[in-house]
Amino acid sequence: MTAPGKRGWGCEIHFQFPMVKLIDYADKIDDLLEQTNPFAIITAPI
């Protein structure tokens, strides 16, 4: 997980999100192209 954050005037905010490697999807291009999720379509050509 990656957790960037920001501090200022005694306050803090942190975002935490999982990391993925696009290379893990290299052999799943056909599956990605069948998805309706726009991120799948964007990821497919990479």
Tell whether pTM > 0.85.
no
- Residue 27 to residue 18: CA distance in whole angstroms: 21
pLDDT digits (tens, 9 = 90+) for 30-45: 888 888 888 888 877 6
- Does residue 11 sit in helix, strand or coil? strand
What percent of the chain is modeled with pLDDT above 70? 85
Quote the tokens at residue 32: 């990605």
Domain ranges across the chain? 20-46
User: What's the mean pLDDT in 1-16?
Assistant: 73
| 27: nearest Cα among 41, 4, 10, 44 | 44
- Residue 24 to residue 43: CA distance in whole angstroms: 11
